């Protein structure tokens, strides 16, 4: 009787051990290095957000700011399967480690400027825009950057204060990296319709 119990337990332990051993891919480490920015003007007046084509209402205007980057592979290492042992075998799980993405020069700030198309006067209007936070509340750009996850590099801004804007304006977005380097891009001339 004892032999049968040992055989059954041995079979169960062996099965659990085999299930717990993984065939994981090698772990690779990448660096995302920022190199440019893209700015798109949006009309939010319809049922879906569309790129501005012609005139747009001030109270239905937004900007999309996407920071572009190059991903460079920096290392590769063997991904060892879950540590062998009785505790691991009983877990019935496989814990492979995924690839790692590093940001050696992360984003620190986003500034939006309005530019008069005639005089080329540039004014910081970042406070005129709000962004959805992770809980879908609209917050200031500066507040968003305080809670932003390091990988978050695409931003949707909504124009909420437009009294101080002319009817024709160019918007410029400038993103700053921790190193002090910055990238900027402008929209075409935006023509606002009076409400």
End-to-end CA gap in the chain: 89
Indicate if the pLDDT at residue 99 is higher than 50. Answer: yes
In 3D space, the residue among 42, 43, 57, 41 whose CA is nearest the CA of residue 193 turns out to be: 57
CB 154 within 8 A of CB 64: yes
pLDDT digits (tens, 9 = 90+) for 178-189: 999 999 999 999
Residue 98 φ/ψ, nearest 5 degrees:
-80, 175
pLDDT level of residue 47 (50, 70, 90 thresholds): confident
Distance CA 41, CA 125 (A): 15
| Residue 147 host element (H or E) | helix 141-147
Top mean pLDDT of 12-16, 70-74, 98-102, 118-122 is at 118-122
pLDDT (tens digit per residue) in 136-147: 899 999 999 998
The pLDDT value recorded for residue 43 is: 94
- Counting residues of the chain whose pLDDT is more than 90, the rounded percentage is 57
Contacts of 64 (CB under 8 A, 6+ apart): 38, 39, 40, 42, 154, 155, 156, 157
State percent of the chain over pLDDT 70: 78
Question: For 148-165, what is each residue's pLDDT tens digit?
Answer: 888 899 999 999 999 889
**pTM of the predicted structure, to 2 decimals:** 0.77
Q: How many Å apart are CA 147 and CA 144, to the nearest integer?
A: 5
Given a contact cutoff of 8 angstroms between Cβ atoms, the answer to whether 74 and 30 are in contact is yes
Say if residue 119's pLDDT is above 60. Answer: yes
pLDDT reported for residue 24: 76
* Residues 125 and 112 sit within 8 Å (Cβ to Cβ): yes
């Amino acid at each position: 009787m004892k032999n049968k119990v040992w055989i059954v337990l041995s079979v169960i332990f062996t099965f659990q051990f085999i299930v717990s051993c993984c065939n994981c891919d090698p772990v690779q480490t990448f660096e995302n290095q920022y190199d440019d920015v893209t700015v798109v003007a949006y009309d939010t007046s319809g049922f879906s957000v569309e790129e501005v084509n012609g005139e747009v209402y001030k109270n239905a205007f937004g900007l999309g700011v996407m920071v572009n980057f190059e991903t460079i592979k920096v290392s590769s290492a063997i991904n060892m399967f879950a540590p062998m042992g009785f505790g691991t075998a009983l877990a019935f799980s496989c814990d492979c480690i995924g690839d790692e993405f590093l940001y050696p020069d992360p984003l620190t700030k986003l500034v939006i400027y309005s530019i008069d198309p005639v005089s080329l006067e540039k004014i910081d209007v970042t406070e005129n825009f709000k962004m959805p936070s992770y809980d879908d509340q609209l917050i200031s750009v500066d507040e968003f950057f305080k809670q932003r996850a390091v990988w978050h590099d695409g931003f949707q801004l909504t124009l909420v204060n437009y009294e101080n804007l002319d009817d024709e304006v160019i918007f410029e977005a400038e993103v700053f990296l921790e190193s002090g380097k910055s990238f900027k891009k402008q929209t075409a001339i935006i023509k606002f319709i009076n409400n």
